[in-house]
């Protein structure tokens, strides 16, 4: 009996081989949106569908196959389930929890700023490279000065981007101005690249009258519709499903643009990460997800965040193309983001980039990271794995940057920042009426009453309230 | 003309139509428009058809929305407007609302469906921390006003913990969103169109009990009923009753019974709970001197508490009796005990009488 079944299986398999006809592709259409991606799957459907058309020609063969179909449960070649056909195995074998080899990390520049021979990368012109470097250095100066301003009590709070300048600037450089950016909170470099001025940064940090956000949020919660940079919000990962919606809108409007959204390693544990990637994949939305895996979520090391090989392996779980990149290599980031963006827009699909990097600074000014990590670990990354220095070496080696350029840039940036801070500090706060506006498009009666009530209170007892606010 | 038409109109059990169906929308100046007898889900369906028709940048999506939805509110939309605009989403409320916020932030109208209000909580972060604050936190550079979240709410007779909830109170506590609850098919269509077109994110709870139960003459044209305007659907002098959604049907029955005992009740449909029309309720209570609020949601921390506190502040000296709240018990919504849990007509009638006789 067993032999007969085995033999019939062989007959059927040889039949299937012989029936590999002209490759008439019959698309199994579960939904108009879902195109075949698995070429193997499609060839299997060719077998059956073209066989069906031969049904009337060869009943003998048909009978054989019918037999096989009847005995599907007993001796199947393939198993047919919702979602398509899957091959069958009688081996009781589990997929290992991790690959024997970690996903390799794409890089172009070595630690000495030299292009690794035979590297795949998109060339960067002198003009672009210098611009990138200038922004990386400016970002460093900006971080340093704002951090100090917080320490001096002039602003209430600050988050630095130290160690992640390459992710910030090189990714921004690789995008088009119309690409819509939905940041987490450690990506001010993207905004800087797009033209947000140092004065604008300072205004938001001081929450003054000129702050586009009207003084409503903590420092570093920048946003600029002019620069297609959605306003930062503190909750983690909420921007990810929103990015899927943004991407879908761009797709429907047939815009040559994509959504680009950032997240840290910690943020990938949030439910919104799962929601965002799954929606982007199902909706076939042009979204580039950039995960800054910088090793730490405040004091939580990645070993306490997930048990997978980082974030890159999660992409495939959603049907999303992914890549792991050296986040401290500006050229690698540039190439990866550029390519991902092209893919996202041309193929109308999401892409996941895991940028490996390190958070050199503390989580924020409310954190002292020496309490939970070794000082020499921080030093190592700050000195030997510094992305700005690495890129600088390459730019200098090309003869595009000098020591003179360096000191001029840094001193100019410093001067501008100090001026910007001075001006921002002196500036008036937004008028009190801005406490009540923009809750809705138009102030409600309730809010108008509360505003009136508050004005009376402030006029009656001004000493109870901070100065500098126009009533 | 109106009286001729009213002779031919059916008397409906829908609250507020005891004097005959109103035919004319306030938006037209010329006589009456064609109406059709529709139930709640059909009226909502009509509103959605009109919304998608009148704005090519509008979308309807959620779980099972493609085939018409588990309550048939989205019937025919995918066939008519295409799967790019009307589609199923993965089973993920935080994703549905987050995706909707993204679409709305780009200037589209996203009308998202949460299958049951009981399942809205995974999206609570997106609604409270993101949608409600999107405009404010950006200094009005961005907004997601095009977002409307629809969800069936309320008792259905056999729904138990997770198919009967009335979560409106959670959302009424969130500055930046609006909360709207229609009482009938005609109201639902007009209020839903207003909600969709309102430049603020709106949470729209639909009384699922009325999806099939309530039938009313609904104008076929495109009309809107303004938000934040309560309506006195029954005039009276002795006591003011305030409610919303399906509960108004129960309250109206109590009012009819009370009338037989010589108590004249004024019944108000709040319609919009956030921001709510305090003036209409205040004017009424200043006339009657008594207030009774009724809702299915548990009494503690329910929206009735907000109405009570506000009216107390504004009408204290005019009040003849304490404000009465006839609401659900402070328990999870029970299955076999539902008839005991609910704020029934007789509970309301008792409360009317004890308030009047205080």
Q: Which residue has the tokens 């949470």?
A: B203
Q: Residue A23 is encoded by which pair of tokens?
A: 């490759």
Q: Which residue has the tokens 């580039």?
A: A288
Looking at CATH, the fold of the domain delimited by B35-219 is given as Rossmann fold (3.40.50)
The burial of B326, by beta-carbon neighbours within 10 Å (0-12 exposed, 13-18 middle, 19 or more buried), is given as buried
Q: How big is the CA angle at B328 (ends B327 and B330), to the nearest 5 degrees?
A: 120
Q: Residue B155 is encoded by which pair of tokens?
A: 């008792």
**Do B105 and A271 lie within an 8 Å CB cutoff?**
no
What is the count of residue pairs from A and B with beta carbons less than 8 Å apart? 154
The CA distance from B133 to B41, in Å, is 31
Residue A312 and residue A228 in one domain: yes
Torsion region of A136: left, alpha or beta (phi above 0 gives left; psi -120 to 50 gives alpha): alpha
Closest CA to A155 of A222, A230, A220: A220
Residue A173 and residue A255 in one domain: yes
Q: Which of B99, B130, B135 sits opposite A244 (nearest CB)?
A: B99
In-domain check, residue A248: yes
Q: Are B203 and B171 in contact (CB under 8 A)?
A: yes
Q: Residue A112 is encoded by which pair of tokens?
A: 């000495």
- SS3 of B297, please? strand
Query: Does A20 reach chain B within 8 Å, measured CB to CB?
Result: no
Q: Which of A33, A211, A245 sits opposite B83 (nearest CB)?
A: A33
The CA distance from B185 to B218, in Å, is 7
Residue A332 and residue A402 in one domain: yes
The burial of A104, by beta-carbon neighbours within 10 Å (0-12 exposed, 13-18 middle, 19 or more buried), is given as exposed
In-domain check, residue A176: yes
In-domain check, residue A83: no
In-domain check, residue A343: yes
Closest CA to A333 of A117, A116, A164, A191: A164
Residue A348 and residue A448 in one domain: no
Q: What is the CATH number of the domain that holds A220?
A: 3.40.50.970
Closest CA to A173 of A195, A151, A152, A155: A195
Domain(s) of CATH 3.40.50.970: residues in chain B: 35-219
The CA distance from B206 to B154, in Å, is 8
**Do A242 and B108 lie within an 8 Å CB cutoff?**
no
Q: What is the separation of C-alpha A399 from the centre of its chain, rounded to a whole number of angstroms?
A: 33
The CA distance from B180 to B175, in Å, is 14
The answer, yes or no, to whether residue B262 has pLDDT greater than 70, is yes
pLDDT score of A77 = 78
- Which of A229, A260, A275 to probe the B interface (max B CBs under 10 A)? A275
Closest CA to A391 of A105, A132, A107, A128: A132
For A307-316, the pLDDT digits (tens) are 999 999 999 9
The CA distance from B326 to B253, in Å, is 14
Residue A300 and residue A440 in one domain: no
**Do A231 and B138 lie within an 8 Å CB cutoff?**
yes
Residue A419 and residue A445 in one domain: no
Contacts of B228 in chain A (CB under 8 A): 444
**Do B139 and A250 lie within an 8 Å CB cutoff?**
no
**Do A212 and B126 lie within an 8 Å CB cutoff?**
no
Q: What single-letter DSSP state applies at residue A469?
A: -
* Peptide bond between residue B275 and the one before it cis (omega within 30 degrees of 0): yes
Helix, strand and coil percent figures for chain B, each rounded to 5: 40, 20, 40
Q: Which of A33, A245, A440 sits opposite B102 (nearest CB)?
A: A245
Torsion region of A461: left, alpha or beta (phi above 0 gives left; psi -120 to 50 gives alpha): beta
Domain(s) of CATH 3.40.50.920: residues in chain B: 231-357
Contacts of B83 in chain A (CB under 8 A): 31-33
Q: Are A114 and A397 in contact (CB under 8 A)?
A: yes
What is the H or E stretch that residue A50 is in? helix A39-53
- SS3 of A94, please? coil
Closest CA to A281 of A182, A350, A352: A350
| Chain B closest-CA separation from residue A174 CA (Å) | 22
Name every residue whose Cβ is closer than 8 Å to that of residue A425 and which is 6 or more positions away in sequence: A154, A206
Catalytically active residues of B are: 93, 163
Q: Which residues of chain A have pLDDT under 70?
A: 1-76
Domain count, chain A: 2
Phi, psi torsion values for B331, nearest 5 degrees: -135, 160
The CA distance from B171 to B132, in Å, is 10
Q: What is the mean pLDDT of chain A?
A: 89
Q: Residue A323 is encoded by which pair of tokens?
A: 């890549």
Q: Let me know how long chain B is.
A: 358
B231-357 under CATH 3.40.50.920, yes or no = yes
Phi, psi torsion values for A319, nearest 5 degrees: 80, 30
Q: What is the separation of C-alpha A132 from the centre of its chain, rounded to a whole number of angstroms?
A: 20
pLDDT score of A12 = 45
Supply the angle between the helices B278-288 and A445-460 in degrees, to the nearest 10: 90
Q: Are A212 and A223 in contact (CB under 8 A)?
A: yes
pTM: 0.89
The answer, yes or no, to whether residue B81 has pLDDT greater than 70, is yes
Residue A348 and residue A447 in one domain: no
- The residue of chain B nearest to residue A273, with distances taken between CA atoms, is B95
Query: Does A44 reach chain B within 8 Å, measured CB to CB?
Result: no
Q: DSSP string spanning B186-224?
A: HHHHHHHHHHHHSSS-EEEEEETTHHHH-EEEEESS---
The CA distance from B192 to B271, in Å, is 11
Find the mean pLDDT for residues B129-157: 98
**Do A233 and B133 lie within an 8 Å CB cutoff?**
yes
In-domain check, residue A313: yes
What is the H or E stretch that residue B324 is in? strand B324-328
pLDDT score of B33 = 79
How many Cβ atoms sit within 10 Å of the Cβ of residue A63?
10
For A362-389, the pLDDT digits (tens) are 999 999 999 999 999 999 999 999 999 9
- SS3 of A49, please? helix
Residue A348 and residue A454 in one domain: no
Does residue B15 or residue A425 have the better pLDDT? A425
Residue A313 and residue A286 in one domain: yes
**Torsion, CA A326, CA A328, CA A334, CA A337, rounded to 10:** 50
Residue A396 and residue A453 in one domain: no
For B175-199, the pLDDT digits (tens) are 999 999 999 999 999 999 999 999 9
Q: What is the separation of C-alpha B157 from the centre of its chain, rounded to a whole number of angstroms?
A: 19
Q: Are B154 and B119 in contact (CB under 8 A)?
A: no
Q: Which residue has the tokens 């309530």?
A: B214
Q: Which residue has the tokens 């009335």?
A: B166
Contacts of A248 in chain B (CB under 8 A): 99, 102-103
Q: Which residue has the tokens 């959504």?
A: A259
The CA distance from A349 to A342, in Å, is 10
Q: Which residue has the tokens 């209430």?
A: A156
Phi, psi torsion values for A131, nearest 5 degrees: -60, -45
Domain that holds residue A459: 432-464
Give B31's pLDDT tier (boundaries 50, 70, 90).
Answer: low
Provide the pairing of β-strand B58-62 with B86-88: parallel
The CA distance from B237 to B46, in Å, is 37
The burial of B252, by beta-carbon neighbours within 10 Å (0-12 exposed, 13-18 middle, 19 or more buried), is given as buried
Ranges assigned E (strand) in chain B: 35-39, 58-62, 86-88, 109-113, 147-153, 178-180, 202-207, 215-219, 231-234, 239-243, 265-269, 272-274, 291-298, 324-328
Q: Residue A71 is encoded by which pair of tokens?
A: 């005995």
Q: Are B66 and B86 in contact (CB under 8 A)?
A: yes
Residue A247 and residue A292 in one domain: yes
Catalytically active residues of A are: 148, 234, 363-364
The answer, yes or no, to whether residue B124 has pLDDT greater than 80, is yes
In order of B31, B133, B152, B166, B332, the CA distances from B156 in angstroms are 38, 33, 10, 11, 15
What is the H or E stretch that residue B259 is in? helix B247-260
In-domain check, residue A59: no
Residue A262 and residue A222 in one domain: yes
| Chain B closest-CA separation from residue A453 CA (Å) | 15
For B272-284, the pLDDT digits (tens) are 999 999 999 999 9
Q: Are B151 and B205 in contact (CB under 8 A)?
A: yes
Q: What is the largest CA-CA distance in chain B?
A: 60
């Amino acid at each position: 009996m067993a032999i007969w079944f085995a033999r019939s299986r062989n007959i059927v398999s040889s039949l299937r081989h012989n029936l590999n006809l002209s490759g008439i592709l019959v698309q199994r259409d579960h939904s108009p949106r879902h195109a075949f991606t698995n070429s193997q799957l499609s060839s299997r459907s060719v077998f059956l569908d073209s066989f069906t058309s031969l049904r009337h020609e060869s009943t003998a063969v048909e009978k054989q196959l019918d037999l096989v179909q009847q005995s599907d449960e007993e001796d199947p070649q393939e198993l047919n389930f919702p979602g398509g056909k899957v091959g069958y195995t009688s081996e009781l074998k589990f997929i290992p929890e991790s690959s024997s080899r970690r996903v390799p990390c794409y890089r172009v520049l070595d630690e000495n700023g030299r292009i690794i021979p035979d590297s795949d990368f998109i060339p960067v012109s002198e003009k672009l490279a210098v611009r990138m470097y200038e922004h990386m250095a400016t970002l460093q100066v900006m971080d340093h000065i704002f951090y100090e301003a917080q320490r001096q009590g002039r602003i209430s709070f600050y988050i630095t981007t130290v160690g992640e300048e390459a992710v910030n600037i090189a990714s921004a450089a690789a995008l088009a101005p119309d690409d819509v950016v939905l940041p987490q909170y450690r990506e001010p470099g993207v905004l800087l690249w797009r033209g947000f001025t140092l004065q604008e940064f300072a205004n938001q940090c001081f929450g003054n009258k000129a702050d586009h956000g009207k003084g409503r949020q903590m420092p570093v919660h920048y946003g600029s519709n002019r620069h297609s940079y959605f306003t930062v919000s503190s909750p983690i990962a909420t921007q990810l499903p929103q990015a899927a919606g943004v991407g879908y809108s761009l797709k429907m409007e047939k815009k040559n643009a994509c959504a680009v959204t950032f997240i840290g390693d910690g943020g990938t544990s949030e439910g919104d990460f799962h929601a965002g990637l799954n929606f982007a994949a199902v909706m076939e939305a042009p979204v580039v997800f950039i995960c800054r895996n910088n090793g730490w979520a405040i004091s939580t090391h990645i070993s306490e965040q997930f048990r997978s090989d980082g974030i890159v392996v999660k992409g495939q779980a959603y049907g999303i193309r992914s890549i792991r990149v050296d986040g401290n290599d500006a050229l690698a980031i540039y190439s990866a983001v550029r390519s991902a963006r092209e893919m996202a827009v041309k193929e109308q699909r999401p892409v996941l980039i895991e940028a490996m990097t390190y958070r050199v600074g503390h989580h924020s000014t409310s954190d002292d990271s020496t309490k939970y990590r070794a000082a020499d670990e921080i030093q190592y990354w700050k000195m030997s794995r510094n992305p700005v220095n690495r890129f600088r070496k390459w730019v200098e080696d090309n003869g595009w940057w000098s020591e003179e350029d360096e000191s001029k840039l840094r001193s100019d940036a410093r001067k501008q920042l100090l001026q910007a801070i001075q001006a921002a500090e002196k500036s008036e706060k937004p008028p009190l009426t801005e406490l009540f506006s923009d809750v809705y498009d138009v102030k409600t009666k309730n809010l108008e009453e509360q505003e009136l009530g508050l004005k009376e209170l402030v006029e009656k007892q001004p000493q109870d309230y901070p100065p500098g606010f126009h009533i | 003309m109106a009286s001729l038409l009213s002779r031919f109109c059916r008397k409906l059990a829908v609250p507020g139509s005891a004097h005959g169906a109103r035919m004319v929308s306030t938006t037209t100046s010329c006589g009456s428009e064609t109406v059709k007898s529709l139930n709640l889900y059909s009226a909502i369906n009509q509103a959605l058809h009109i919304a998608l028709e009148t704005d090519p940048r509008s979308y309807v999506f959620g779980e099972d929305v493609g085939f018409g939805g588990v309550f048939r509110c989205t019937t025919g939309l995918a066939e008519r407007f295409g799967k790019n605009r009307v589609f199923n989403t993965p089973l993920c409320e935080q994703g549905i609302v987050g995706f909707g916020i993204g679409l709305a932030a780009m200037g589209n109208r996203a009308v998202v469906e949460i299958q049951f209000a009981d399942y809205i909580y995974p999206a609570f972060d997106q609604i409270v921390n993101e949608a409600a604050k999107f405009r404010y936190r950006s200094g009005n550079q961005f907004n997601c006003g095009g977002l409307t979240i629809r969800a069936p709410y309320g008792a259905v007779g056999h729904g138990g913990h997770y198919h009967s909830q009335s979560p409106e109170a959670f959302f009424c506590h969130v500055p930046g969103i609006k909360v709207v609850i229609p009482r009938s098919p005609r109201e639902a269509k007009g209020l839903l169109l207003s909600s969709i077109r309102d430049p603020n994110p709106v949470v729209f709870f639909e009384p699922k009990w009325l999806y099939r139960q309530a039938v009313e003459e609904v104008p076929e044209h495109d009309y809107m009923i303004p938000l934040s305007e309560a309506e006195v659907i029954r005039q009276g002098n002795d006591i003011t009753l305030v409610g919303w959604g399906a509960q108004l049907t129960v309250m109206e029955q109590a009012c009819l019974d009370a009338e037989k005992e010589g108590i004249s009740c004024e019944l108000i449909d709040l319609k919009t709970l956030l921001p709510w029309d305090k003036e209409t309720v205040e004017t009424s209570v200043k006339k009657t001197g008594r207030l009774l609020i009724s809702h299915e949601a548990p009494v503690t921390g329910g929206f009735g508490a907000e109405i009570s506190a506000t009216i107390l502040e504004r009408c204290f000296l005019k009040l003849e009796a304490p404000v009465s709240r006839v609401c659900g018990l402070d328990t999870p919504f029970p299955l076999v005990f539902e008839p005991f849990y609910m704020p029934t007509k007789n509970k309301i009638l008792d409360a009317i009488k004890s308030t009047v006789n205080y």
